[in-house]
Amino acid sequence: MFAVENGLQGDPRLQAISDAIRVIPHFPKTGIMFQDITTLLLDPVAFKHVVDIFVDRYKHMNISLVAGVEARGFIFGPPIALAIGAKFIPLRKPGKLPGKVISEEYELEYGNDRLEMSMEAVKSQERALVIDDLVATGGTLSASINLLERAGAEVVECACVVGLPKFKGQCKLKGKPLYVLVEPSQLEEITF
Amino acid sequence: MTILFVCYKQQPAVSQESENMTSKEDGQDPRLPKIASSIRVIPDFPKPGIMFQDITTLLLDTEAFKDTIDIFVERYKGKGISVVAGVEARGFIFGPPIALAIGAKFVPMRKPKKLPGKVFSEEYSLEYGTDKIEMHVGAVEPGERAIIIDDLIATGGTLSAAIRLLERVGVKIVECACVIELPELKGRDKLGETPLFILVTSDAA
């Protein structure tokens, strides 16, 4: 579900967020129009809009855990967690987290990758939010949902700044709702 | 292994005579003990002999995490700092909340090949070999005032590379700020003229 479908149609903050995201063509490989959120982070007003919209949505949902996917989920997750009084849990690439971890494999275009979470971070029945900068295939978010559910948490929603248009409507990931602020930005046309 | 608290002189928020001022003679911030005790130490990670300072437990303590950010924000707000640079990946956790609160840009400093656009790159030494840290071209402008954030300073290799990278493009680094310092590793010595501000010190091994 996109923000515009849920009460924020015409909200000028969404246009500001979209405008602040830079498109880098053919990164990391040919054909991919990479949505670069680092330019959003250089715009303190637009960055604050992102956090404010998510905080307004989640502050009354009784969420005690915000899980952020390495590395760009680490940028958006903590400000939200702090504002709603929730714990922040980093979901990391293999071998980075010390202590006991649980691990979930997910598919890439070629091959697999793994995501890890500290086993001791989650108490049973906690209500969790998963955050990442962008959702494309949903593979990483699905792995995140699995990790949290295996640890006994209830995933309330997954939230991303950018999402492909296929996630409009009541689209769910592993049965969990998805909330997205904006569609991918387009490359500006160059006129001669 | 001991954890010591950094004693730094903080400007009292109220006058000397007020009852609200901390009663400790050394001016230690009363929030520091909880922050220090929320950090878990994991022995022999990532390899034998290393006492790993695990800040993930701090992030699970909502009060300690908030206090950590508040201390940094109180220190840097209103000082004309327009850039908060955070070192991948744990600097990404502490940097953005500080940047948002002081109205500054957040600039991620990343491992090679992660940033999609044109980058500046700075090499630094590891125990064996070298690594590189990168920043987008155009993220900062000459004359801007910056702080650099990471969770921990050990040998100072990464932070000194971050300083060099920002200084090359004409940015003034006001201070480096970390939650934890491992003073035995003398990372401070690599920072040159740049001051270092930390909340907690600990033993490396």
Taking only the tens place, the pLDDT of each residue in B41-85 is 999 998 898 899 999 999 999 999 999 999 999 999 999 999 999
Q: Report whether pLDDT(A187) > 70.
A: yes
Please give the Cα distance from B57 to A160 (Å, whole number).
Answer: 25
- Residue A147 burial (10 A CB sphere; 0-12, 13-18, 19+): buried
Shortest CA gap B67–chain A (Å): 10
Whether pTM exceeds 0.90: yes
Please give the Cα distance from A119 to B111 (Å, whole number).
Answer: 27
Q: What is the distance, to the nearest Å, from the Cα of residue B146 to the centroid of all Cα atoms in its chain? A: 12
What is the chain A residue with the closest CA to B83? A42
For chain A, what is the mean pLDDT? 94
Confidence of residue A186 (pLDDT cuts 50, 70, 90): confident
pLDDT of residue B50: 87
Contact between chains at B100 and A27 (C-beta distance less than 8 A): no
Which among B55, B61, B139, B58 has a CA at the least distance from the CA of B99?
B139
For chain B, what is the mean pLDDT? 88
Please give the Cα distance from A132 to A68 (Å, whole number).
Answer: 6
Q: Give the pLDDT means over successive 10-residue stretches in chain B (205 positions).
A: 42 30 57 96 90 96 98 97 97 98 98 96 89 97 98 95 97 98 94 96 80
- Residue A119 burial (10 A CB sphere; 0-12, 13-18, 19+): middle
Q: What percent of chain A clears pLDDT 70, i.e. is strictly above it?
A: 98
| B77 in reach of chain A (CB within 8 A) | no
- Residue B164 burial (10 A CB sphere; 0-12, 13-18, 19+): middle
What is the chain A residue with the closest CA to B61? A87
The question of whether B127 is a catalytic residue gets the answer: yes
Spatial CB neighbours of B185, under 8 Å, sequence gap ≥ 6: B154, B155, B156, B204
Cis peptide before B46 (omega within 30 of 0): yes
Phi, psi of A128 (to 5 degrees): -120, 150
Shortest CA gap B47–chain A (Å): 11
User: A36: alpha, beta or left, given left = phi > 0 and alpha = psi -120 to 50?
Assistant: beta
The question of whether A154 is a catalytic residue gets the answer: no
* The dihedral sign for the CA sequence B168, A36, B58, A106: negative
In the sheet with A87-91, reading across from the earlier edge strand, the strands are A87-91, A65-69, A127-135, A154-163, A176-182, A172-173
pLDDT of residue A108: 80
Q: How far is CA B65 from CA A143, A173, B11, B56, B191, in A?
A: 26, 30, 22, 10, 26
Q: Average pLDDT for residues A156-170, to the nearest whole number?
A: 94
The predicted-structure confidence for A14-73, as pLDDT tens digits, reads as follows 999 999 999 999 999 999 999 999 999 999 999 999 999 999 999 999 999 999 999 999
Q: Report whether pLDDT(A128) > 90.
A: yes
| B100 in reach of chain A (CB within 8 A) | yes
pLDDT of residue A124: 85
pLDDT of residue B171: 98
| B7 in reach of chain A (CB within 8 A) | no
Q: Report whether pLDDT(A192) > 60.
A: no
Strand partners, B124: B131
